[in-house]
Amino acid sequence: MGETIVLPAQTSRRAELEADGWVVIARSFGAQLDSARIDRQRLQALVAKAEGSVRELADADVESVLRLDAMTAEDYPGSAATQHTPLDRRAATPSASRRAFGAFGPDGDLVAMTFVDVEGTKAETQFTVVHRAWRGQGLGIAVKAASVLTLAAEGVTQFRTGGSADNLAILRANDAVGYIQDEEWVTLGRNVR
Ligand SMILES: CC(C)(COP(=O)(O)OP(=O)(O)OC[C@H]1O[C@@H](n2cnc3c(N)ncnc32)[C@H](O)[C@@H]1OP(=O)(O)O)[C@@H](O)C(=O)NCCC(=O)NCCS
């Protein structure tokens, strides 16, 4: 597939493009959680029941972040709208506006992480990833829940997230944390001759 265009699923331009030979090659979504709807106790329970120990990441974790990112860079489903750019050292370093939360296995290895951009009272998840050997054990949910709990306590009121609509695990993780889907996007593609 050559060119791609990402646009809201409901836009009228989509029909024009489809009539012109473009086809849907991927679907993605956006979802929101408002702080007023957060169930703190439930989120705390989701963090507590995770196998690994969960905490916010700091400068000292950068090597672990880069290692986990390199191991998982190919694992993100979808297309242009949801692709993951491998982290460089700067992108892997948490800051006041780029917060990160992780889960660690019994030997201290970072096995799950979520990175969240924060601007004022708004937060947007950049990506969430779990080491292949640790998937399906609640760690994706746990790091997402930890990010929401910490940032809400600091005054963040609006949390946004998104991803590939074909990624059942992240859809269900978002559901579990309380996000409500409010955007649907399509990626259109066409072969360039
Ligand atoms: C998406 C991802 C972060 C989820 O993390 P995880 O630790 O495996 O997920 P959890 O164990 O917390 O489970 C989350 C939910 O998804 C479900 N789930 C987990 N793996 C699943 C799978 N392969 N297929 C369908 N559902 C799945 C779980 O049952 C749970 O739902 P439930 O609460 O309704 O039971 C992880 O699979 C991953 O790293 N994928 C590759 C990177 C990626 O796609 N990231 C998301 C885009 S940013």
Residue 185 predicted with pLDDT over 60: yes
Does residue 3 form part of some domain?
A: no
In a domain, 130, yes or no: yes
Contacts of 83 (CB under 8 A, 6+ apart): 76
Residue 192 has pLDDT above 70, yes or no: no
Q: What domain range includes position 63?
A: 32-182
Where in 9-96 does DSSP place strands (E)? 23-34, 53-56
Residue 49 included in any domain: yes
162 within some domain: yes
Residue nearest to atom 18 of ligand 1 (CA): 169
**In this structure, is residue 11 part of a structural domain?**
no
How remote is the CA of residue 107 from the centroid of ligand 1, in Å? 23
CATH number of the domain enclosing 154: 3.40.630.30
Measuring from atom 35 of ligand 1, which residue has the nearest CA? 172
Q: Whose CA is nearest to atom 24 of ligand 1?
A: 169
Predicted local confidence at residue 1, as pLDDT: 56
pLDDT tens by residue, 10-41: 999 999 999 999 999 999 999 999 999 999 99
Question: Could you give the number of structural domains in the chain?
Answer: 1
Q: Cα angle vertex 66, ends 161, 99, to 5°?
A: 40
| Band (2; pLDDT cuts 50, 70, 90) | confident
pLDDT of residue 52: 82
Taking CA atoms only, the protein residue closest to ligand 1 atom 22 is: 169
Question: Would the CB of 168 count as within 6 Å of ligand 1?
Answer: yes
- Domain presence at residue 12: no
Q: What is the pTM assigned to this prediction?
A: 0.94
Q: What does the pLDDT look like over 46-93, one tens digit per residue?
A: 999 998 899 999 999 999 999 999 999 999 987 776 679 999 999 999
Considering the domain boundaries, does residue 193 fall inside one? no
Kindly state if the Cβ of 64 falls inside 6 Å of ligand 1. no
